């Protein structure tokens, strides 16, 4: 049974209604096209695809040390080091690593920590209410996955 705590929650099934994300972000260190919510969506998309290997052969094979495994198991790409050689793609034992899906943006969502308690510009500006701040626990039967301690997502199950 998962821990129930308040966290940002994105319903990716609702999110699909938008052709282009129009959510605003209060992250103070971003460019208009490189905001926190875009980085969040990248992170979610990648976390759901990467198998987060214990050994991480994609990290080991990178000739430029452009990939680093984070404490939470996710990968971080150092943009200025990546030369696009695709060694990581070849090394992935699951065939799930695609360079265009590794989180690339420099800005990252800080979940408005220490800046706001319950006011989130992303929640207020989402036209389809795809983002909420609420108590969430992982529930695979309901297709709710926890990406990290601050973020949960709902997504449709893949059909094989």
Q: Best-predicted range by mean pLDDT among 9-18, 58-67, 68-77, 108-117?
A: 58-67
Q: Please indicate, yes or no, if residue 13 is contained in any of the structural domains.
A: yes
Distances (CA, A) of 51 to 12, 16, 54: 20, 24, 9
Per-residue confidence band for 91, with pLDDT thresholds at 50, 70 and 90: very high
The Cα 86–Cα 9 span in angstroms is 33
Q: Is the pLDDT of residue 92 over 70?
A: yes
Q: Please indicate, yes or no, if residue 159 is contained in any of the structural domains.
A: yes
Q: Please indicate, yes or no, if residue 95 is contained in any of the structural domains.
A: no
Q: Is 111 exposed, middle or buried (0-12, 13-18, 19+ CB in 10 A)?
A: buried
Q: Please indicate, yes or no, if residue 40 is contained in any of the structural domains.
A: no
- For 13-67, how does the pLDDT look when each residue is reduced to its tens digit (9 = 90+)? 888 777 777 887 876 655 555 566 766 776 777 777 778 888 889 999 999 998 8
In eight-state DSSP terms, residue 115 is T
Work out the mean pLDDT of the chain and round it to a whole number: 78
Q: Please indicate, yes or no, if residue 155 is contained in any of the structural domains.
A: yes
Task: Find the Cα–Cα–Cα–Cα dihedral 112, 113, 114, 118, rounded to 10°.
Answer: 60
Per-residue confidence band for 3, with pLDDT thresholds at 50, 70 and 90: low
Q: Please indicate, yes or no, if residue 125 is contained in any of the structural domains.
A: yes
What is the phi/psi pair of residue 60, to 5°?
A: -65, -35
Note the pTM of the prediction, 2 decimals. Answer: 0.64
Long-range pairs for 65-71 at CB < 8 Å and ≥24 separation? 67/102
- Domain tally, the chain: 1
For residue 133, give its domain range.
1-35+109-160
């Amino acid at each position: 049974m998962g821990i129930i705590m308040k966290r940002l929650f994105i319903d990716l099934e609702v999110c699909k209604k938008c052709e282009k994300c129009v959510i605003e972000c209060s992250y103070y260190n971003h460019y208009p096209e490189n905001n926190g919510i875009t980085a969040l969506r990248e992170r979610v998309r990648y976390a759901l695809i990467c198998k987060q290997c214990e050994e991480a052969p994609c990290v080991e094979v990178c000739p430029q040390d452009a990939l680093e495994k984070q404490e939470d198991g996710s990968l971080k790409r150092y943009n200025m080091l990546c030369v696009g050689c695709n060694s990581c793609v070849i090394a992935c034992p699951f065939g799930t690593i695609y360079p265009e899906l590794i989180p690339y943006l420099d800005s990252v969502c800080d979940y408005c920590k220490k800046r706001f308690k319950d006011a989130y510009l992303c929640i207020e500006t989402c036209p389809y209410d795809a983002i909420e701040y609420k108590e969430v626990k992982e529930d695979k039967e309901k297709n709710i996955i926890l990406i990290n301690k601050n973020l949960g997502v709902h997504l449709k199950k893949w059909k094989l």
